[in-house]
Structure 1
Amino acid sequence: MSQARDHGVDHRPVRPFRNRVAGTGASAGRRAVAQLAVGTPVLPVLVVALVVSADLAGGAGMIWLPLLVAGPALAATTNGPRGVLCVGFLAAALGVTLGIRDGVPGRELIAVLSALVAVTLASGLASALRGRRERVLAAVRSVAETAQHALLKPVPSTVGPFQAAVRYSAAAAEARIGGDLYALIPTPHGVRLIVGDVRGKGLPAVGTAALVLGVFREAAHDEPDLLAVVDRIERSLARNLGRDDFVTAVVAGYPRAGQLEVVNCGHAPPLLVRASGTVTPVEPVLPAPPLGLRDLAGYNPGLHTLSFADGDQLLLYTDGVTEARDGDRAFYPLAEGLERHISREPARTLGALHEELLAHVGGRLHDDAALLLIRKPAERGAEAEAPVASGTGPDVPARVSEAKCCF
């Protein structure tokens, strides 16, 4: 960005040197005033001023002077140690002035000032500790955000032949990361994507999500068969997860033009939006257990193949969306919301869905929620209709095939 600015041409008229210096000094002065205004403990000073005004109006002396400690105590919650000390010094100076004016006995005035000094020092220490905790929290947030970007890489607006968009919200808002996972990557075997939900929350769920995404990204490039990709994730989870842990997921691929493959492992069915606007859930014909539980179920998942033409869209999501409840404990109707907000721009569609979802729950989700939407725009020219991967046959109608053992 800086290089672009440096190489740009500025067409504004050049001012004389003195005017530029004066302008620089004025702008520096404005910046200094702005920084001072930001750091000024306005509210604590206002509290001190109110106490002083009450004393001047009533002339009650000792009745109002002890309330001056509210100034530095409040400054500890809004300002740094320097601001706290400044408010404490101001309150002490005004307290002495008012005490002398009202004829407060010396011993009582010293007691009030001692309490004011003690509260100021304690508030200054509390402010310093608060600032330190805020810096640590900011560093943790930065690390969590970096980890999220490494784990859940941003999805570009165009991936292969698709328009794409993602919306993700973590239940742990401060951490900005959770147990839901998604990925959309182009491979030699076509575009492949995954959306999943790890059982549980917190750091263990994040670790499991990282494991699933790592295996998926490697297998998606290596394995020509989508079921083999799912098998590699299953084997990895079987070695690394506990007996009660599992991951629900939908893995999809676009091996050739006009054809979409879907493998559903215990996850919520994706929503298929045809170019006509109809929304249909892609229910698995052969339901499969979640990833990590195949040994207990004793059977393999099936491959569901369906047509995916120009203008069609596919929405994958996690249960944090469909299980979001309003004040009356009613679930969010995702399919109806998708029908209302569907458009030719996936980012616009998900933005409207996300806003409606937040409005439905009252502003904050209580579970991780992920939305991934792809759209197949109309191609330009006949070359775009060529198969994405070599060795593939012509388009076939929707089918379900049993998985082959890949262990």
Structure 2
Amino acid sequence: MKRDVRSRSELLRIGGRSVAWVPPLLMLVGITLIDFNTAGEFQMITWVVLVPGIAAAICGVWGTAAFAVLALLTFLLADTSYPDRYQSGLPDFLLVGIGGALAVLACAVRVRGERRMLHMRDVADTTRRTVLRPLPDDWAGLDHAAVYLASDVEARVGGDFYDIQPGPHGTRVLVGDVQGKGLGAVETAAALLGTFREAGYHEADLTTVADRLEVRMLRHRGHIKALGRGEEEHRFATAVLLGFPDDAPDAVDVVVFGHEPPLIAGPGGVRHLPSGEGLPLGLGELAADGPPPVRRVPLAPDETLLLTTDGVTEARDAEGRFYPLAAEVTDAVAADPRIAEPRRLVAFVRDGTLRHCGGRLADDTTVFAVRRPARRQAGDDPAGKGRLQS
């Protein structure tokens, strides 16, 4: 099992070797030397009871047990070395022995807790990879980059979602944000992504894909209501659905479900897409004009679509001011047109957001950038590529 989270003992390494045993050993030696160099009734040797306690915090169970035994033997040696001196005797011997035993027990509890935490991290990472599956470079013939930052660091996954789905009718992209937090939001995001991956591949019309997403949201809410989870039955999701048609290489189709509209950044500057009047997924029945329209927008090969969730746009600084995303990106692209490249653009927005809010994210944060490659080699078949890898 691959583990990217290490226990404290594993972090105490020099040159690949653990040095967790050094602090308790230095304390043991120090206490012993001080005790042998003091006279009279003042003796520090009883302080060796602290040694297994220190080991319990940074060493393994067997290491802590070794220090508990070593502390007990050191106490006996020091306490009986000079018969004419005052000796601590049996009470302190029992104190050191009991202290060592309790330290070993505490270490066992700590190690068990760390293993459980590592297991939960693995579960969270697996859930995240399932919901937000890793996207290979140049997936579906698109140049893309993404970063996801969960507001709950321990959970590592939340209600933001994104994916790219190639298919015989072009490549589709979905970026969105489920209202609310917790596992319920993750469940909703997984349901919407599952529908998108199927409909985005099979359906020829992007409007049909949008309708399928709305229906899936309503069905999911009905299921939640039937389960009696009333606090989640009114959940909705904002989203942006993109279509990159093969027959229109200089355009992109856009459907906005109550989400912040994308920015288009390129060497010529930054422009805003119209927000439209679409309501979030799950609230479509309230729309007087029906489902949101599909808008075809010109998109040059060197222009990048930037999509973010409200973790970016609603990030606040110490004075309560929102992060000025459009202004920051506009200034950055004007100063260096290369910022419009997806990877650079995502890194710039991520760093700017964290700097603006001081690293304290109030909501899950997703930054996603995508564009068509400047040049596509003849014979490339992104749809076929998707069929092999999806």
- Please, what TM-score do these two structures have when normalized by structure 1? 0.78
Q: Is 1:293 matched up with 2:273?
A: no
Q: Is 1:373 matched up with 2:373?
A: no
Q: Cα offset for 1:381?
A: 7.7
Distance across 2 between alignment mates of 1:104 and 1:151 = 70
Q: Cα offset for 1:38?
A: 0.8
Number of residues of Structure 1 aligned to a counterpart in Structure 2 = 351
Structure 2 residue identity aligned to 1:84? T
**Would the alpha carbon gap of residues 60 and 51 (structure 1) be closer, same or farther in structure 2, given more than 3 Å must change?**
farther
**Paired residues of 1:284 and 1:304 also in contact (CA < 8 A):** no
Q: How does 1:160-309 map to 2 (within 5 A)?
A: 160-241=140-221, 242-255=232-245, 256-276=248-268, 278-285=269-276, 287-298=277-288, 299-309=290-300
Distance across 1 between alignment mates of 2:201 and 2:282 = 22
**Paired residues of 1:39 and 1:83 also in contact (CA < 8 A):** no
Q: Is 1:318 matched up with 2:309?
A: yes
Match among 327, 335, 352 for residue 336 of structure 1: 327
In the alignment, structure 2 segments of 5+ residues that lack a partner are 1-13, 222-231, 384-390
Distance across 1 between alignment mates of 2:201 and 2:341 = 28
Q: Cα offset for 1:149?
A: 1.6
Match among 110, 114, 118 for residue 134 of structure 1: 114
Per-residue deviation, residues 354-405 of structure 1 (Å, max 9, x unmatched): 2333333334534211111112333358999x9x9xxxxxxxxxxxxxxxxx
Partner of 1:9: none
Q: Cα offset for 1:266?
A: 1.2
Q: Cα offset for 1:250?
A: 0.8
- State the SS of the aligned residue for 1:273: strand
Q: Cα offset for 1:40?
A: 4.7
Distance across 1 between alignment mates of 2:164 and 2:71 = 61
Distance across 2 between alignment mates of 1:71 and 1:45 = 8
- State the SS of the aligned residue for 2:134: coil
Point out the more displaced range, 39-48 or 209-218: 39-48
Cα-Cα RMSD? 2.8
Partner of 1:21: none
**Paired residues of 1:61 and 1:98 also in contact (CA < 8 A):** no
Partner of 2:228: none
- State the SS of the aligned residue for 1:367: coil
Distance across 1 between alignment mates of 2:102 and 2:376 = 71
Per-residue deviation, residues 111-167 of structure 1 (Å, max 9, x unmatched): 112111111111111211221222222222222212222221122221344311111
Structure 2 residue identity aligned to 1:52? T
Structure 2 residue identity aligned to 1:346? P
**Paired residues of 1:96 and 1:109 also in contact (CA < 8 A):** no
- State the SS of the aligned residue for 2:166: strand
Per-residue deviation, residues 45-80 of structure 1 (Å, max 9, x unmatched): 222233233333433655523322211111111011
**Paired residues of 1:155 and 1:166 also in contact (CA < 8 A):** no
In the alignment, structure 1 segments of 5+ residues that lack a partner are 1-32, 389-407
Distance across 2 between alignment mates of 1:191 and 1:104 = 86
Structure 2 residue identity aligned to 1:191? T
Q: Cα offset for 1:173?
A: 2.2
Q: Is 1:81 matched up with 2:72?
A: no
Distance across 2 between alignment mates of 1:105 and 1:57 = 14
**Would the alpha carbon gap of residues 284 and 69 (structure 1) be closer, same or farther in structure 2, given more than 3 Å must change?**
same
**Paired residues of 2:267 and 2:340 also in contact (CA < 8 A):** no
Partner of 1:351: 347
Structure 1 residue identity aligned to 2:66? C
Distance across 2 between alignment mates of 1:296 and 1:110 = 81
**Would the alpha carbon gap of residues 140 and 104 (structure 1) be closer, same or farther in structure 2, given more than 3 Å must change?**
farther
Q: Is 1:147 matched up with 2:143?
A: no
**Paired residues of 2:304 and 2:341 also in contact (CA < 8 A):** no
- Please, what TM-score do these two structures have when normalized by structure 2? 0.81
**Would the alpha carbon gap of residues 89 and 160 (structure 1) be closer, same or farther in structure 2, given more than 3 Å must change?**
closer
- State the SS of the aligned residue for 1:187: coil
